[in-house]
Every structure is written in C-alpha cells, then in structure tokens.
Amino acid sequence: MRRKPVRPVLVVIAHGSRDPRHAATVHALVERVRSLRPGLRVETGFLDFNIPSVHGVLESLAAEGVQDVVALPLLLTRAFHAKADIPAVLRDAPPRLRIRQADVLGPSPLLLSALEQRLHEAGLGPADKSSTGVVLASAGSSDPEAIAVIADIARQWRGTGWRAVRPAFASASLPRTEDAVRELRELGCARVAVAPYVLAPGFLPDRIARGAAEADVLAEVLGPAPEVARVLLQRYDAARLPALAAVGA
C-alpha cells in the first residue's frame, strides 16, 4: 500500500521588530493557522530582531530529519524582502531540506474582507459606506510593483460601495496617511476612515496611526484575523501541491 506523503512543514517567515507587539501578533496569527489546520506543523522564523531566526529554524528542522518545507513570507506585497532577503536566507538552508517558497499574502479577496471587518469593529456599518472615504494605509515600498498593487487594491475596494478609497504609505512613497485624509475631506466625504493594510503593530503602523489623527475612524491592524490565517493556508497549499503531484500523491 502506498504510503501517504508527509505534509511539508510550514515555516512562516516574519520580518521581526524591536516592538514586542510585533512578535506577539505574529505568534497569535500562527496559533490561529494551527487551529484551522490541526496536524499541520507550523514554525515561525524572523529575519531580524526576534528569535528564532529563519536560519535557526531551518537548521533545527534539518537536524530532526525533516525533508520538505514550505517557506511562507509573512508579507502583503512582493517587494525587496520577498524578492531578495528571503531567497538569500533560503539559499543558505541545510542542503538536505527541499524548500518551496510560497507567494506573499496579497492581494487576496480574503484580505479585503479582513479590512472590512476591522472597519466594522471600529464602528462603521454597511449604511456608512456610501458616505465614507477610506484611506488604505500600507507600510510603503520603493518597489514599483508593490506600489502598483496597493493602488489596484484601493481601486477594487472602491468598487464595493465606499464613497472613495485612497492609498497611502508610511514610508518610501507618497502620499502619507494625513495627506490622504485631507484629500478625502476636500472631496466632501462625510467621514474618513483609515484602514491599516499591515499585519502587525510596530514603527510604521504607529506612523500610520499618527497620520490618522484627523480621521474619524482608525481601524486595527490585520493581525491574527481569521481571513489572514486562511490566506496563509491557501498560499501553503498552492506551494505544496505541485510537489505532491510530482510524486503521484
């Protein structure tokens, strides 16, 4: 009888931060992923500031005899970390590991649903959408591909019924959150909401919050939202299924 292939270990790769809220939020999200997929082994490694490091996690897995890993960047866009930093770390992994790098989380309809839920939790209901302008506030990037993705998400989200949606960035790109808030005021929006398109608290999310001082509503970061956890599992499945097909699973 053919043995069922062992599922690859999911290694979630987070950026890391000196802010302890960052690691706490990442771990909470990973716990939610585990709860949605019992039996799946999920490990967390950080690129900087926090432990365990990605390299340390991969070394430990190799020492245990693990062979297959799906490395999942805990990132919302394909920018420098996804294109350069993470591949470089994975190239230095123990050679016995077969590693497949999953796609970043965004864009995804589930992430838009998570943004909607965060705004709902902040006090906005369906009846508010047609009179409310939303600032889609991301961390920012110097990568044109990442900036274009954020702009496209804002256009898509506008089509769901909001009065207007404007992208904004906490670093590297313009406009800043406060500028987008003022633009929506000038547009005549009855209220303005800021939706942070970031996964965990930290330096740049705090900058977004300061830029939202003149807004009416500031939503929480995406954090361990169930929709985010489901996207992680979608990316994991998409990365591992080709490998399973190759062995006839």
3-state SS string for 43-102: EEEECCCCCCEHHHHHHHHHHHCCCEEEEEECCCCCCHHHHHHHHHHHHCCCCCCEEEEC
d(CA 96, CA 99): 9
Amino acid at site 70: V
How far from 120 is each of 60, 113, 205, 209, 224, CA to CA, in Å?
A: 42, 10, 19, 17, 16
183-193 pLDDT tens trace: 999 999 999 99
14-25 pLDDT tens trace: 999 999 999 999
Instruction: Give percent of the chain above pLDDT 90.
Output: 92
Phi, psi angles (nearest 5°) of residue 9 = -70, 135
Could you report how far apart the first and last alpha carbons of the chain are, in Å? 13
Instruction: Give the model's confidence band at 246: pLDDT under 50 very low, under 70 low, under 90 confident, else very high.
Output: very low
For residues 34-54, average pLDDT: 97
Pairing of strands 98-101, 132-138: unpaired
Kindly report the pTM of this predicted structure. Answer: 0.94
Whether 16 and 49 have beta carbons less than 8 Å apart is answered as yes
176-229 pLDDT tens trace: 999 999 999 999 999 999 999 999 999 999 999 999 999 999 999 999 999 999
